[in-house]
Structure formats: C-alpha cells, structure tokens
Structure 1
Amino acid sequence: MSLTLSPPRFTDPAVFGRVAVLLGGPGSEREVSLQSGQGVLDALRARGVDAHAIDGVPELAKAIVAGEFDRVFNILHGGDGENGVVQGLCEAFAIPYTGSRVLGSALTMDKIRTKQVWMSLDLPTPRYRRLQPGDDVHAAARAIGLPVIIKPSKEGSSVGISRVFADADLEAAVALAARYPGELLMEQMVEGDELTVAVIEDVDGPLALPSIRIVPKGAWYDYEAKYISDDTQYLCPGLDGEDEVRIGALAVDAFVAAGCSGWGRVDVMRDRRTGALLLLEVNTAPGMTSHSLVPKAAASIGIDYPALCWRVLEATIPVEVAAR
C-alpha cells in the first residue's frame, strides 16, 4: 500500500510564533511525558521554532494569562493533558493547541465511555464490564469469560493493568487498578496480535499511517516493553494487503467517532482465532520517546521525527489560513 501525506503548508518557523511545549505534570505518566516533551522541544528548536518547555498545567495557565505564548504543543500524557482541561484552558484564551478538542480529549480519556460510543456505531471492541465499588468481580468475569484484563478506565501507559487467567487472581487485580482514580474496566482479553495505528490530520482530513504490529519479548506489551526494553519488535506495516487497508479505515472511523482531531493513536487487537479487529482505545497525546510508536509509523513513509513534530504543530493553523 502506497501512502503519502500532502506537502507541509509552511516552511517559515516564524508562522508559529512563540510555542509552549507542555510536558511533565504530576501524574503517573510524568517521566514518559518529560522524555516525550524533551524530544519535541529539541526537534522544534532544530527547525527554528521558538519553543519553550512548560512543566504542568498551573505553569501553563500563568504563562497564558501573562500572554507569553502564541500556541501550545501539548505532550502532557494522561490526566489534565488529555481529559479536556488543557484544551478548555487554551480555548478560553483563544490559544491554538495540538491534538483533539475538549470533547474528543475528555471522551477518549474515559475508556468505558469511548467503548460505549463505538458500540453505538457498531464499531468492534472487546466485551467489557464497568466495575464499581462493591460489585461482584467474579460474576463479571463469568459473564465475560476468563481470561480478562482489569485496568483503570482513565490511565495510560499500561499503568495499573493486570491480565487475569484465574478466578483466584481477580481480587488482587482489582486492588491494583483501584489505586488510580476513576472507574475500573474489566475487558475480554483478546489473544492475538497487538497493533496500533497513528492518525494524523492531513489537508483533506484524518489519515491513517501504516500500522505497527508489536511483538514484545515477554507475554505482553507492558510498561517495561513500551519504555525500557530494547527487545520489543515493531513490524511496520503490521498487516498485509486488504487487512492493512481495513485496519487503517477502522482506526480513522474510531478516531472520528470519538470526536478526535489533529493527531493521535488508535490501539487495536486482532483475534488470533477469528482474525477480527477489535478497538481498544485512542491516545490523543501519544508518546514521542525513542521507543514510541507514532514516530516509527511516520518514519516508515519517510517522515522523520522533526518533520512529524512540525506537521503536528502545523495542524494548529487552519487549512484556509495557508490558502490565503
């Protein structure tokens, strides 16, 4: 499958003005966000953009009130970086920012509500149960069928996730996930290929980059495999022929259905037995570390890391502006 993005709309970095690279924050994904943010900061500066690091939302709010920045590159993973808070702050002060708007950000931060939207549109996603305090987790597991995944509904980077194969292990998995805020999600564990599809805004709308099939050395793609291990394999494109076309179309449909825009990453499982593609979640501020997936997908079609950062930032300027 041949895939090309439209040429960049701008070549002069001055068009972006003074850019805040929002990173860090107090959440569970702080360290990953710091790594991502440093990479983005270095890449933008290397291309002449007047970019500056801002650690956390309170510092960003102060800077915006003081009129210090013209736009925001949001690479604050999880928490207020992806739940609509940063997006609402920027919109209140008419500051352009990268990524999805308030609705798409808030919705996709909640894995349960995202699944409900997808199911209402007949988009495929694994069976699930919402777990609230006092719920019978054993009954929920029987309804879905072991094995299951138990995870916080509003965390990322595989934080607080357990794979449960035996009924006796359910309570410990719930206790781990309950350390994090929000509801808990019990989901059918799909055994098969773990895939992800980066989506980036092009001039004609969202475009899926080649998929990546993730092959961790261990049993699954956990935090260590994502950010620490050098043994994880990334196969791009992850699928062949019509299957690759199908996963790209599904990712764009899921992205749009959830109200997303700008850029993001859609995670998908392919059932080993049936070949079915099942949607897991959308990340609206995906990782941009040395191990991250969106840069790998972009590189597969000739877009290097600095060029990718430029394109993400470019999406903060409406297409009609470039046409003037």
Structure 2
Amino acid sequence: MKIAVLYGGVSGEREVSLSTGKGIIKALKNKGHEVIGIDFDPSKLKELLQLDVDLVFIGLHGRFGEDGKIQGLLDMLNIPYVGSGVLSSALAMDKAKSKQIFAAEGIKTARSQSYVINQFENTEEIARSVREQFNVPFVVKPNQEGSTLGLTIVKEEEHIDKAIEVAAASDTVILVEDYVGGREVTVPVIGKQGSEQALPVIEIIPKNDYYDFDSKYKPGGSEHIVPAQVSDDLTKQLQEDAVKAHQLLGCDVYSRVDFIIDAHNNAIILEVNTLPGMTPTSLFPDSAQVVGLNYDDLVERFVELSIQE
C-alpha cells in the first residue's frame, strides 16, 4: 500500500512525535509498503490537500493531531486513516468531558472541577474558588494537553496561583482535581469497534515523584513492568474498564487508557490516549510484545484493522 505518515506537528509533544513517526515509517517499510513521511504543519496544508495515498497513519500527538482536527480534514478529503475519528479524538482530548462520561457510566474518576479562563475577571478569582473547593494536595492542569505538559501537583496553598498560571498558558480551560496517589498503570486496547480487546496491563514506575514528561521520554526516566504485578481480579477490572472507556468515547483501532491504583486498590481512570506514543520502546509496543506482537507486526496490525470494512 501507499501510506503517508504524519508526524512532528506543532504541539508541545513534537519531539515525541518525531520519534513515533520515525518508528512507524521504518516498520511500514519493513512490511513492504511505499511510505511518504510528512512533518505536519497546519499552516502548510497544500501537501495534504494534494495527497494521493491509500491510507494515512497519524503519528502526531497533542494539538492538531490528537484532538480531531486532522481527522476532520482527512474525512473531508475522503482519505482513510489509522485510528479514532473526529468525535472520539476530541472527547478523549477534553479531559473534563471524558471524565463526565466515565463517571456517568460507573468508571471511577478523581473529583474535579473545570474553569473557563475568560469567564473570570482574573486568575486570582479562580484561585479563590479552588481554595474553597479543594484541599492540598491536588492537581492543576490544562484541560486539553498531553504528556503532563502544564501539570502541577499543588502541595502547598501558596503555589496555587503559579499552578493556575502555568496551566492557563497552555489552554483556555484548566482542570483541577483531587490528587490520587498510588501505582500508575496503563492498558493498551486494540481492535475494531465492538470487538476490542485489552492487552496486558503495564505498571509504570517513574524515577521522579510522578510520571511527568521527563519520566515518559528521557532514557531511564521510568521502568515498565509488564504484565503488571496486580491481582487477577484487579487485572480483569482494569482491562474491562479500559475497553469500556475506549468504547464509550467511540474510539477505533487502538488507544491506551491510563489509571491510578489507589491505596484501597481502586482503579481510578486518568485519561484515554487515542494516539499514544508509538516509538519502538513506548508502552503500547511493550505490552504487545508480551502477547507475541513485535513492533513491526503491531504497526501492520493497525493498518489491517484500518482497512477492514
């Protein structure tokens, strides 16, 4: 097949996307496909408008890649692509909206409140509301951002204003939620809509206090234990909740669902990643390896699922 790989982009996750794109391009070539690599920039759409390919593999992360915008453009151009569509991508990217959906359907989430910046006269007004509703520690983060960019765990009240300022620099809506300490795990999901399956649960042990940008992407920043050393019952629940969350948002082909296991062994969902990192050493390929899918075969499986009627 003739496949275009979109990678790079202009979000804060550009460097990660460059690595994802490089891995995907190599895997597709190893599988015999003709591959066109495109370092995507939304200000230079001519290359996409003139694209003549069988399929697009989206290796972008964050804004203009994971939020449904590029999916909408490809839909209008009638070009098939790997992964979730417009609505599911947009919902997964909107943490507040997706949390509402999960909570309504019985998946445990951390208590949270979103704040639309321009509905307040200043950030001090937001800070007053936060102080009234939350006790430290709590988390302040942009509502639509990936890789923990703009996220602060507020442990002392005097840091609230700075945390709001940092989050507001990345988004027009910020999300404040109770801090849930515990074990960080993630569950890859793969399959066509209605017949998805969860891959082995991965436990992430970050070298820093939490799974921040450096822990995710710097060499040696975290340790991945797969399958995670949790009970059979909890494994079953995590996998069922992951598939359920994936389906509730209408995701397609693949996603990765992040959780915290709290002190009482409750699985608390954090978010669904519709375009998780896909470097050869990323979490999703690590889990797939355990069930006998190497990196090249995994990428090819995504292609096969995307072209099935």
**TM-score with structure 2 length normalisation?**
0.93
The corresponding residue for 1:147 is: 137
Contact between 1:54 and 1:60, CA under 8 Å: does it hold in 2? no
Q: Give secondary structure in 2 for the equivalent of 1:81.
A: coil
State the partner residue of 1:48: 32
Please give the secondary structure, in 2, of the residue aligned with 1:80. coil
Q: How much has 1:116 moved relative to structure 2?
A: 1.3
Out of 234, 252, 255, the position equivalent to 1:261 is: 252
Change (3 A) 1:59 1:186: closer
Q: 1:198 to 1:296 in 2, by over 3 A?
A: same
Counterpart position of 1:98: 82
Cα displacement (A) at 1:218: 1.8
The within-5 A match list for 1:1-324 is 17-58=1-42, 61-133=45-117, 134=120, 135-201=125-191, 205-238=195-228, 239-272=230-263, 274-318=264-308, 320=309
Amino acid at match of 2:258: D
Question: In the alignment, residue 242 of structure 2 is paired with which amino acid?
Answer: A
Q: What's the RMSD between the two structures over aligned residues?
A: 1.7
Q: Does the C-alpha gap of structure 1 residues 28 and 316 become closer, same or farther in structure 2, counting only changes over 3 Å?
A: same
Q: Which amino acid aligns with 1:73?
A: F
Cα offsets for 1:240-278 (capped at 9, x unmatched): 311111100000011111121111111111112x11111
Query: Do the aligned partners of 1:130 and 1:186 also contact (CA within 8 Å) in 2?
Result: yes
Query: How has the CA–CA distance of structure 1 residues 310 and 93 changed in structure 2, closer, same or farther, with 3 Å as cutoff?
Result: same
With 229-238 and 108-117 compared, the bigger mean Cα shift is at 229-238
User: In 1, Cα distance between the equivalents of 2:281 and 2:127?
Assistant: 35
**Residues 35 and 289, structure 1, Cα contact 8 Å, conserved in 2:** yes
In 2: Cα distance, 1:59 partner to 1:302 partner: 41
SS in structure 2 of the partner of residue 126 of structure 1: coil
User: Which deviates further from its counterpart, 48-57 or 203-212?
Assistant: 203-212
SS at 2:147's partner residue? Answer: coil
Question: Taking structure 1 as reference, are residues 66 and 220 closer, same or farther at Cα in structure 2, changes over 3 Å only?
Answer: same
Say whether the 8 Å CA contact 1:268–1:279 is kept in structure 2: yes
Task: Give, in whole Å, the separation in 1 of the partners of 2:43 and 2:153.
Answer: 37
Q: CA 1:95/1:59 → structure 2, altered by over 3 Å: closer, same or farther?
A: farther
Kept in 2, the 8 Å contact 1:131–1:137? The answer is: no
Q: Is the 8 A contact 1:127 1:144 kept in 2?
A: no
- Give how far 1:144 is off: 3.4
Moved more, 279-288 or 133-142: 133-142
Distance 1:291 1:179, change over 3 A: farther
Percent identity reads 36
List runs of 5+ in structure 1 lacking aligned partners: 1-16
- Matched residue SS, 1:149: strand
Inter-CA distance 203–82: structure 2 relative to 1 (3 Å threshold): closer
* CA displacement 1:194-246 (0-9 Å, x = unmatched): 11111111586111111111111221111111000315211111223111111
- Alpha-carbon shift at residue 92 of structure 1 (Å): 1.2
Distance 1:25 1:53, change over 3 A: same
CA–CA distance in structure 1, aligned partners of residues 129 and 47 of structure 2: 50
1:67, 1:276 → 2: CA distance? 47
Conserved in 2, the CA contact under 8 Å of 1:127 and 1:188? yes
SS in 2 for 1:269: strand
Query: Does the residue aligned with 2:35 lie in a helix, a strand or coil?
Result: strand
